Amino acid sequence: MTGTIAHSALLVSVGVLALGVILTPVAVRSGRREWLQLVYGAAYTNFLLVTIATVAMVYALVTHDFSVSYVASVGSRSTPLLFTIISLWGALEGSILFWAWVLAMYAAAVVWLHSRKQGNLVPYATMTMLAVAAFFAILLVGPADPFRPVFPVPADGPGPNTLLQNHILMAVHPPLLYMGYVGMTVPFAFAIGAIVSNEATSNEWTLLSRRWMLASWGFLTAAIIAGMWWSYEVLGWGGYWAWDPVENASFLPWLTATAYLHTVMVQERRNMLRVWTLNLCVATFVLTILGTFLTRSGILSSVHAFTTGSIGYYFLGLIAVVLTATLVLVAGHSDRIRTPGKLGGAASRETVFLLNNLFLTAVMLTVLVGTLYPLIAEAIRGVKVSVGEPFFNRMTIPAMVALIFLMGVGPSLPWGSTTWADARKRLAPPLAGALIMAVIAIAVGTRSIYALLAFTFVGYAAMGNLREYWVGMRARRRAHGESWPTALTRLVRGNRRRYGGYVAHIGILFVAVGVTASSAFRTEREATLLPGETLTVSGRTVRLKGVWGREEPQRSVIGATLDVLGKDGAVTGTLEPRMNFYRVSDQPVPTPDVKSSIKGDLYVNLMAFEANGANATIKVIVEPLVPWIWFGGLVIVIGSIIGMFHSGRRAVPVRKAPASAPSDPPETAPEEEIAEALT
Amino acid sequence: MKKKWIAGGLVLMVAVFGWLLFGGLEKNVVFFLTPQELLAKGPEGVGVPVRLGGQVKPGSMVWDAKTLDLRFTVTDGAKEVPVQSTGAPPQMFRDGMGVIVEGRVGQGGVFHATNLMVKHSNEYRAPAPGEEAHEKYKTLMQQGTL
């Protein structure tokens, strides 16, 4: 019954979406703009219908309705309620349904917020989103139908994948990822809408797509960090990033989205790079679909390859359609999209943005080629290969270290052009930060040249970004006599995107410090301990207290209890790494235990144990500054929230600064503050 | 004229980048081989990082819990390769199970594994009767939590 209702809702939504897609050009061309209300109505109706299907699925999961095929494949009466609900996104069909629902929500939100705008941009953007939604709706009524009837109805099911039901972050990471991934459809839709409606040179689409991109980027960043955290807490190897195809799939669109968020500023300020930003929008969207293809087709082996099936090839088809359509559109309209803007001087912010884009694109291509290479090698040379971490690390770390440096240079330089003397004056102060960090890094014994450079550049960039705040606040205090807190809030409110961006930079720097320190100074040891025996790793000591077992409804748990000993030998805490044996799988799921502090983590994993509990093999890993990564993620999210709620008014255009303005002291507030102070 | 220079520069940049990229790939690619394919390489297969895939030969696993020295034989039915590794075997490591070991062949023909992966199939298997955790670790379960 539930299945029938949901399936019918999805069938109707295919029709509604098709109607919306066809009606848009008809309404625009014939000038019957009142018909557009039907297109917008299609977006709302689709949201309603997919919501019905999603609620039906959750209801079927919760009530253990095993007559629904998806529930029969991932449900189980013994799974706790929370994990039963979140198994909605635990396997292929459910995750497609969830994707469709998030997309329907985005499309409805776009219509709700922007449909009163003039022009043809929003109609065509809506049409694009409805077309993508139709693709997912077709998957849901055909090859990925989660509501197929099952007969005879089984009494119980296997439960969700054991890796997915082992940690609470599975309730957090996937929704964030879908919000980010699916959200990338909106800027793409605006890009297509802008070309089709001939409004690519207006600033309207830039403004809209930029805001949606920033929101999706914030979600995607949070998702990537949450995914790293999940991997760290569940997989038991003490790492958070392994250049696994699925990790790469989430990282690729993040890189192009980051590049977009930077060049779009150049486009607004200097009226150039319009085709490039447009392509970045399209590339980001295509990479999200490619990522879905890679992870959902099972053609690449991965720890995350939870689902396999032929459905992947539909995504390949979608990519082909999108790329062809974009190519045709951009080529057909190129004369109207190209922009006359000219690059300023060499020492200017836009030059740094260009370099930023160059490095981000290079990293993206490297990761893309590395991820796809096993497929290429097997197809062309007939050999099975894997591209390991060394390739990705060696190829991308130099570019990423350079990007950290640029993060300090960009904010310090003005738009347009400046003299070298002025540039030197602006770029010099953050060197103090670089020096401090370099000294600290050497003092703690940093050996690797890249780690040393990373720490140094983090110091430089941190100082560079914080200094922008300091300079702006001081200018406001001088001009208005405001108190420091007032100056800070008014400064940020005056240009949320800019100061939100600096907050995001600081967040990235926290992540960079955490990643560099935890990989450069990681120490680990493994030993088999009898109860009472100790194991010491870089000054941290644990003592095995004993091994125990426990029965839970859906699993058996074997754990080891370890005392953490302080310097004086006193017990300062306990750790309980476990191994969870789910009824449905012969593979136990490791559940390491972590003791975190601002200085770093003590990570303990149970590797093996004697069946009678006589001993346990324990791996102890000491990783400095890991929590800084999670904290950095939070800071980035705060930065994107600040940047998202800007007033929508265009930033004050640059007045061409006379090239001969060396008298302009470097401490002067940037253009915006001056312009603001004058109003 | 200026445009030509820019275009030339771009082409050069892309070429250098591609050269670096594929050079890096050639050096860092790890081949996936079966024991038969590995042994067929002869001396060429010694010292280079590979992923070796096969089954754990029944009765070949020896683990010393004190020194964490782990030895077993990987077989593909035709040929077999002795493997040595340091660390605990995965808890469910057992005879006949599919494994992928990452490492390199040392002098003497022993494969030194740095990474040990149990082949996960998506359709995970329920434990065989008598192999269930609450049966196997009955004594621990009865003792309960510490």
**Residue range A432-438: mean pLDDT, rounded:** 95
Domain co-membership, A24 together with A122: yes
**Residue range A352-369: mean pLDDT, rounded:** 94
Q: What is the pLDDT of residue A50?
A: 98
Percent of chain B topping pLDDT 70: 92
Residue with tokens 């870089």: A538
A546, A531 Cβ separation under 8 angstroms: yes
**Residue range A101-118: mean pLDDT, rounded:** 95
Percent of chain A topping pLDDT 70: 92
pLDDT at A35 over 50: yes
Q: What is the pLDDT of residue A308?
A: 52
Closest partner CB to A613 (pick from B31, B49, B143): B143
HEC assignment per residue over chain B = CHHHHHHHHHHHHHHHHHHHHHHHHHHHEEEEECHHHHHHCHHHHECCCEEEEEEECCCCCEEECCCCEEEEEEECCCCEEEEEEECCCCCCCCCCCEEEEEEEECCCCCEEEEEEEECCCCCCCCCCCCCCHHHHCHHHHHHCCC
Is residue A353 domain-resident? no
pLDDT at B127 over 90: no
Distance from CA of A605 to the nearest CA of B (A): 11
pLDDT at A636 over 50: yes
Angle between helix A92-114 and A185-196 (nearest 10): 50
**Residue range A439-450: mean pLDDT, rounded:** 93
Answer yes or no: do A587 and B118 touch at CB < 8 A: yes
**Both tokens of residue A168?**
């609470």
Tell me whether A298 touches chain B (CB under 8 Å).
yes
Tell me whether A301 touches chain B (CB under 8 Å).
no
The chain B residue lying nearest A609, using CA atoms, is B91
Alpha carbon distance B75, A281 (integer Å): 49
Tens-place pLDDT, residues A484-518? 999 999 999 988 999 999 999 999 999 999 999 99
Domain co-membership, A537 together with A503: no
Tell me whether B15 touches chain A (CB under 8 Å).
no
Domain co-membership, A119 together with A185: no
Question: Amino acid identity of A498?
Answer: R
| Tally of CB atoms within 10 A around B41 | 14
- Cβ neighbors of A598 (< 8 A, separation 6 or more) are A627, A628
Domain co-membership, A578 together with A476: no
A616, A547 Cβ separation under 8 angstroms: yes
Tell me whether B21 touches chain A (CB under 8 Å).
yes
CA distances from A331 to A193, A283, A326, A369, A453 (A): 15, 16, 8, 26, 43
Residue with tokens 């001396």: B43
Domain co-membership, A5 together with A141: yes
Backbone angles phi, psi at A667, to 5 degrees: -80, -10
Is residue A394 domain-resident? no
End position of a domain, from candidates A302, A334, A366: A334
Residues A338, A346, A424: CA angle, nearest 5 degrees: 150
Answer yes or no: do B132 and A583 touch at CB < 8 A: yes
Tell me whether A306 touches chain B (CB under 8 Å).
yes
Tens-place pLDDT, residues A573-584? 999 999 999 888
Distance from CA of B51 to the nearest CA of A (A): 8
Is residue A178 domain-resident? yes
A173, A230 Cβ separation under 8 angstroms: yes
Grade residue A666 by pLDDT with cuts at 50, 70 and 90: very low
Is residue A397 domain-resident? no
Is residue A386 domain-resident? no
Evaluated on CA atoms A187, A190, A194, A199, the torsion sign reads negative
Domain co-membership, A1 together with A145: yes
Q: What is the pLDDT of residue B29?
A: 86
Q: What is the pLDDT of residue A665?
A: 38
Distance from CA of A476 to the nearest CA of B (A): 42
Task: Find, among A103, A115, A131, the residue nearest to A326 by Cα.
Answer: A131
Alpha carbon distance B106, A230 (integer Å): 36
Domains and CATH numbers, chain B: 29-121 (2.40.50.140)
Domain co-membership, A456 together with A487: yes
Domain range for A477: 411-521+628-678
Domain co-membership, A486 together with A605: no
What does A355-383 look like in DSSP terms, one character per residue? HHHHHHHHHHHHHHHHHHHHHHHHHHT--
Q: What is the average pLDDT score of chain A? A: 89
Lowest mean pLDDT among A33-47, A183-197, A299-313, B13-27: A299-313
Q: What is the pLDDT of residue A7?
A: 95
Grade residue A298 by pLDDT with cuts at 50, 70 and 90: low
**Residue range A273-291: mean pLDDT, rounded:** 92
Higher-pLDDT residue of A670, B71:
B71
Lowest mean pLDDT among A345-349, A539-543, B101-105: A345-349
Structural domains counted in chain A = 4
Q: What is the pLDDT of residue A531?
A: 95
A172, A259 Cβ separation under 8 angstroms: no
Domain co-membership, A172 together with A249: yes
CA distances from A183 to A189, A217, A238, A243, A258 (A): 10, 8, 31, 24, 14
**Both tokens of residue A466?**
């914080």
Grade residue A675 by pLDDT with cuts at 50, 70 and 90: very low
- Cβ neighbors of A11 (< 8 A, separation 6 or more) are A141
- Taking the alpha carbons at both ends of chain A, their separation in whole angstroms is 64
**Both tokens of residue A157?**
């099911």
Residue with tokens 């683990």: B63
Q: What is the pLDDT of residue A286?
A: 96
pLDDT at A649 over 60: no
Is residue A251 domain-resident? yes
pLDDT at A192 over 90: yes
> Quick one: how far is CA A497 from the chain centroid?
19
Tell me whether B19 touches chain A (CB under 8 Å).
no
Distance from CA of A564 to the nearest CA of B (A): 16
Domain co-membership, A537 together with A652: no
Q: What is the pLDDT of residue A352?
A: 92
CATH number for the domain harbouring residue A314: 1.20.120
Tens-place pLDDT, residues A218-276? 999 999 999 999 999 988 888 999 998 889 999 999 999 999 999 999 888 888 888 89
**Residue range A465-489: mean pLDDT, rounded:** 92
End position of a domain, from candidates A113, A144, A160: A160
H/E run at residue A621: strand A616-624
Alpha carbon distance A508, A454 (integer Å): 12
| Tally of CB atoms within 10 A around A229 | 20
Question: Which pTM was predicted?
Answer: 0.92
Grade residue A659 by pLDDT with cuts at 50, 70 and 90: very low
pLDDT at B133 over 90: no
Q: What is the pLDDT of residue B138?
A: 82
Tell me whether B20 touches chain A (CB under 8 Å).
yes
Residue with tokens 């603001």: A676
ipTM over cut 0.90: no
pLDDT at A306 over 50: no
Domain co-membership, A170 together with A277: yes
| Tally of CB atoms within 10 A around A618 | 25
Grade residue A86 by pLDDT with cuts at 50, 70 and 90: very high
pLDDT at A676 over 50: no
Alpha carbon distance A390, B102 (integer Å): 13
Q: What is the pLDDT of residue A46?
A: 97
List A residues 108-167 in contact with B (Cβ-Cβ < 8 A). 158, 161-162
Q: What is the pLDDT of residue A344?
A: 66
Alpha carbon distance A620, A576 (integer Å): 12
Grade residue A92 by pLDDT with cuts at 50, 70 and 90: confident
CATH number for the domain harbouring residue A607: 2.60.98
Evaluated on CA atoms A389, A390, A391, A397, the torsion sign reads positive
Domain co-membership, A12 together with A152: yes
Q: What is the pLDDT of residue A660?
A: 40
End position of a domain, from candidates A586, A602, A626: A626
A304 contact residues in B (CB cutoff 8 A): none
Q: What is the pLDDT of residue A340?
A: 67
pLDDT at B92 over 80: no
Is residue A283 domain-resident? yes
List B residues 122-141 in contact with A (Cβ-Cβ < 8 A). 122, 124-128, 131-134, 136-137, 139-141
pLDDT at A430 over 90: yes
Higher-pLDDT residue of A32, A129:
A129
Alpha carbon distance A71, A87 (integer Å): 9
A607 contact residues in B (CB cutoff 8 A): 87-88, 91
Distance from CA of B88 to the nearest CA of A (A): 6
**Residue range A524-548: mean pLDDT, rounded:** 94
Distance from CA of B103 to the nearest CA of A (A): 12
